[in-house]
Structure 1
Amino acid sequence: MSDVLDLAIDLIRRRSVTPDDAGCQSHLAERLSRAGFKCASLRYGEVDNLWATHGSGGPTLIFLGHTDVVPTGPVDVWQSDPFEPTLRDGRLYGRGAADMKGSVAAMVVALEQFVAEHPDHRGRVGLLLTSDEEGPDNLDGVRRVAQHFRDTGERIDWCVVGEPSSKERLGDLIRVGRRGSLSGTLTVRGVQGHVAYPEKALNPIHAFAPALAELAAQRWDEGNQDFPPTSFQVSNLNAGTGANNVIPGTLTALINFRYSTASRAEDLRARTEVILARHGLDWHIDWSLSGEPFLTPPGGAVREAVIAACRELCGISPEESTGGGTSDGRFIAPLGVEVVELGPVNATIHKVDECVSVDDLEQLPSLYQAICKKLLA
């Protein structure tokens, strides 16, 4: 059994559902310490974060990952225990196999091999892990660590995120940026009453409907060469008491913008509020910015290194995408860091019977090590 497969199996066995790290990071810190890395545990609240570095000076390349996983759902619908990793038909099955304990294992093995071959490499190479990537708020994970880096003057130049980026085969797609995510919790107030006497009530559903139609029809921007146009979606709409003879007194809508570098969060907020005010609603909205959009432009050193590694080792020129949801790269990029995401096929992430190809898993350390060599050897 290969080193990376053995390590991935060890990590998957640990029931590290957000924010519980279940000992993953301490185990990895012991390994990296033996390889000469300086390891620091940054624990905030219930969240564990591991910061490990090798070398000194600059430039600095880091690998970014998470040890937490999403819940399994009903265990009886899995073909095998999600926390008992199983090899079947050339694949490793288990929660976190693809998202992203396989990548974490590959990062660690790649870093061990790189510093063993290049003990006097230029600059620094590092690993940042969190146990709060899959959570709803991400307050004490990489977001908090990034603030710590600002406060302490930590300098990072390049970051490779191990998120499962590939579509059909390893290295066929990399993420060179991500859209921003802006959410709002909107409350529209009406007057509760009997449905038989609508003149004595004010239905917030009816009042909000024209505003919602206008919001949904808006062209927020045209996007640009790197990003599609900004999208607006309502993910939840709730009102009523459950009775069919009561006009509700309030309506709550959860809205979200996935926006490009063609828009700014403050402009999206302002335009939304202008529309709500124009329709004469009695409303209040609480905004939450999950992350700004970021882009590593063509010609960036880490982007070019990742592309070259995929071409050389996978025999493919990767698609360079800014699609998908968000990742912890959104917290690192604002530090002035070039960020690229490269990881295994994402077809089964968060699903029952999550798995990763053993061949891909065993090739991934070579990809990550190649990136290290191109930038720091």
Structure 2
Amino acid sequence: MTTDPVALSVDLIRCPSVTPEEGGALVLLERLLSEAGFDCTRVDRNGTPNLFARWGAKGAAKSFGFNGHTDVVPVGDAAAWRHDPFGGEIVDGVLWGRGATDMKTGVAAFAAAAVDLVTETPPDGAVILAITGDEEGPGRDGTRALLDWMKDHDEAMSVCLVGEPTCPNEMGEMMKIGRRGSLTFYIEAEGVQGHAAYPHRAKNPLHALVTLLGRMTETPLDEGTEHFQPSSLQITTIDCGNPANNVIPAKARATVNIRFNDTHSGESLTAWGEALAQDISEATGIAFALNPDISGESFLTPPGPFVDLVARSVEDETGRAPELSTSGGTSDARFVKDHCPVVEFGLVGATMHQVDERVPVEQIETLKRVYARILRDYFA
């Protein structure tokens, strides 16, 4: 009897696992996987719930890994939803609820495919599922914790597929073979407070800050590379907390986010920003503090046997040859890439994080078939 990914998706959505709450989702998966013969270990760290599950011998020559998360973002205004966000209701062939696209359905699809494989046609190798409850949160104790635990316990994946939603509009149209890096500058400029009518007695940090932001944005960081779009720099906030119209403030702050391709690194962009700030500081007398937060470096899994396997399986099951993309935000693949080659393929993500998050059930069934074909062909 095959494992129904839609029923499993419904059960997972009914677990209120808003980060950092486990909500029963990992307990449910651990029971399912244990009954199928997986060795399961909870790898909780600092209160963050995680699950490691392996079928097959430890240290197997070939091991296929899946990575995903069962935590979800808050529902927002629950009264604005047409259906209970944790009800897992299916109406006219559509599954509604928080996590319907991002990504309890993805976890359900790969768990169902893995269970069917090991129970019906046991492979010569290992199947590993690394599932976290901390992808939508800080990300410090989720997939990172699982990978740290795996290293300490000599567990390894030969390759890994992350089940995040990757398709913009139609099933099969896109898979991810890399991601841009992400760096945030938290900038503070400090001058001297004074009366707006007597600027010679003050030093206006806003003027210097605006000059710095102008220098950062006046020239594109690059023109893109073979597999990446041009890097993007966005000013996301400017503030000085000044309620008065006749006071020059002492301090001003801004936040800048950069999504960067493989032309750059977090280190090189940090040096670039600090050099600009130093030049403007010397010209204006305003002191700058740039606090960089690098949440991930850019990475690429080049086209080759693993990428070809996933792309071929997607086309066979959906009728579409997926675009090999590096677009979008970050995912836990940025951590997995230090462990083994990693790609991403999942559902259409049009409604993720929205009120009325939902997905047609046929997409979940298709996704399970894609994952099942990938597993079957990998171990063939």
1:365 aligned partner, one-letter code: K
Alignment of 1:192 onto 2:197? no
**Percent identity of paired positions between Structure 1 and Structure 2:** 41
Whole-Å separation in 1 of the counterparts to 2:235 and 2:152: 37
Query: C-alpha deviations, 1:90-145, integer Å up to 9, x for none?
Result: 210101000001111111111110111222x122111111111001x211111232
Cα contact 1:20–1:46 (8 A) shared by 2? no
SS at match of 1:98: coil
Cα contact 1:2–1:362 (8 A) shared by 2? no
1:103 aligned partner, one-letter code: G
Q: Give the aligned partner of residue 293 of structure 2.
A: 288
TM-score, length-scaled by structure 1: 0.95
Give every structure 1 segment of 4 or more consecutive aligned residues whose post-TM-superposition deviation is greater than 6 Å. Answer: none
Q: Give the aligned partner of residue 298 of structure 1.
A: 303
Structure 1 residue 257 displacement after superposition: 1.4
Whole-Å separation in 2 of the counterparts to 1:200 and 1:230: 40
SS at match of 2:103: helix
Query: Paired residue for 1:338, among 338, 341, 357?
Result: 341
Cα contact 1:69–1:96 (8 A) shared by 2? yes
Q: Give the aligned partner of residue 317 of structure 1.
A: 321
Whole-Å separation in 2 of the counterparts to 1:169 and 1:366: 16
Structure 1 residue 2 displacement after superposition: 7.6
Cα contact 1:236–1:254 (8 A) shared by 2? yes
Query: Paired residue for 1:134, among 133, 136, 140?
Result: 136
SS at match of 1:99: coil
Cα contact 2:94–2:359 (8 A) shared by 1? yes
Cα contact 1:240–1:249 (8 A) shared by 2? no
Cα contact 1:18–1:134 (8 A) shared by 2? yes
TM-score, length-scaled by structure 2: 0.95
Query: Paired residue for 1:76, among 73, 79, 88?
Result: 79
Q: Give the aligned partner of residue 354 of structure 1.
A: 357
SS at match of 1:39: strand
Q: Give the aligned partner of residue 60 of structure 1.
A: 63
2:91 aligned partner, one-letter code: R
Aligned residues: CA RMSD: 1.5
Q: Give the aligned partner of residue 109 of structure 2.
A: 106
SS at match of 2:373: helix
Structure 1 residue 74 displacement after superposition: 0.6
Q: Give the aligned partner of residue 375 of structure 1.
A: 378
Query: Paired residue for 1:97, among 92, 95, 100?
Result: 100
2:105 aligned partner, one-letter code: G
Query: C-alpha deviations, 1:226-284, integer Å up to 9, x for none?
Result: 01122211112111322222221111111121111121211111111111101123011
Q: Give the aligned partner of residue 159 of structure 2.
A: 158
Cα contact 1:7–1:105 (8 A) shared by 2? yes
